[in-house]
Amino acid sequence: NAGVMQNPRHLVRRRGQEARLRCSPMKGHSHVYWYRQLPEEGLKFMVYLQKENIIDESGMPKERFSAEFPKEGPSILRIQQVVRGDSAAYFCASSPSSGGTGELFFGEGSRLTVL
Amino acid sequence: KNQVEQSPQSLIILEGKNCTLQCNYTVSPFSNLRWYKQDTGRGPVSLTIMTFSENTKSNGRYTATLDADTKQSSLHITASQLSDSASYICVVSAKKGTGANNLFFGTGTRLTVIP
């Protein structure tokens, strides 16, 4: 049973470009969380999704950031018109049910560098 | 306000020595508390989960404690090894709300074990 798969592992973008980060949850998991981690800092919640629904996006910046988890395919975190401050590691986690009682399984992260 | 505070922020110990990491929380109503280990450049991995009725739980050389009255948890590492060098993250779950993210992350303790 493959773990949470994130790609790309490393992504370099110039300011103003778009970044798309993909996350395939573990098989059988229908809940996906995205977190951002700046160097030497902790994980910051961004968004919690179930299939075809955004459940909680309270940690997501209001502009330029969007997330989706379609019925088929991976969850996508999209950052439009990237700026240098978007450089960070973005982690995806999945759980079979809402994470309140279950364990979160994390991917290895996607490291975005904005030049 | 639901918060999770960890201390110390960083710690350096000699190989073979023991250490204790602390986690204080104000999350309510409490559901459970997990300790995660995050190796550099990797995603976090769950070490142990503590529920309200549990005081102590061990996982090999890792022993977690929970005092639900004082809202404190500790992670004790015995006979440290170089591979214990990582960030240790305390994550507290509130009882599930309606559609909201109910996981609260500490900023982690960065442990470095030196030969």
Where do we find the tokens 């330029």? A64
Residues 6+ apart with CB under 8 A from A24: A4, A5, A6, A74, A75
> pLDDT at residue A42 above 90?
no
Which residues of chain B make contact with A40, given a CB cutoff of 8 A? 110
Q: Do B103 and A104 touch (CB under 8 A)?
A: yes
Q: Do A99 and B102 touch (CB under 8 A)?
A: yes
Phi, psi of A86, rounded to the nearest 5 degrees:
-80, -10
Interchain contact B107–A (C-beta under 8 A): yes
Asked if the C-beta of A99 comes within 8 angstroms of chain B's C-beta atoms, the answer is: yes
| pLDDT for res A45 | 92
Q: How confident is the model at residue B106 (pLDDT cuts 50, 70, 90)?
A: very high
> Where do we find the tokens 């592992």?
A9
**CB-based burial label for B103 (10 Å; 0-12, 13-18, 19+):** buried
Q: Is A104 close to B95, i.e. CB distance below 8 A?
A: no
For B19-47, what is each residue's pLDDT tens digit? 999 999 999 889 899 999 999 989 999 99
The residues, ordered by sequence, that sit 6+ positions from A17 with a Cβ below 8 Å of its Cβ are A81, A82
Task: Summarize pLDDT for A23-35 with one digit per residue, the tens.
Answer: 999 998 889 999 9
CA B64 – CA B51 distance, rounded (Å): 11
First-residue to last-residue Cα distance in chain A: 36
Q: Measure the CA–CA gap between A38 and A88, rounded to whole angstroms.
A: 5
Q: Is the pLDDT of residue B102 over 90?
A: no
> Is A98–B96 a contact, with Cβ atoms under 8 angstroms apart?
yes
Q: Which of A60, A88, A100, A93 is nearest to B43 (CA)?
A: A93
Contacts of B91 in chain A (CB under 8 A): 104
Contact by Cβ (8 Å): B6, B22: yes
Mark out the alpha helices in B1-115 (DSSP H runs): none
Rounded-to-integer distance, Cα B74 and Cα B64, Å: 6
**A27, A46, A66, A103, B15 from A59: Cα distances, Å:** 26, 4, 11, 20, 39
What is the per-residue pLDDT for B98? Answer: 54
DSSP string, A11-37: EEE-TT--EEEEEEPPTT--EEEEEEE
CB contact under 8 A, A101 and B100: no
Place of tokens 């109910």: B102
What pLDDT is attached to residue A79? 98
Is A84 or A101 the better-scoring residue by pLDDT? A84
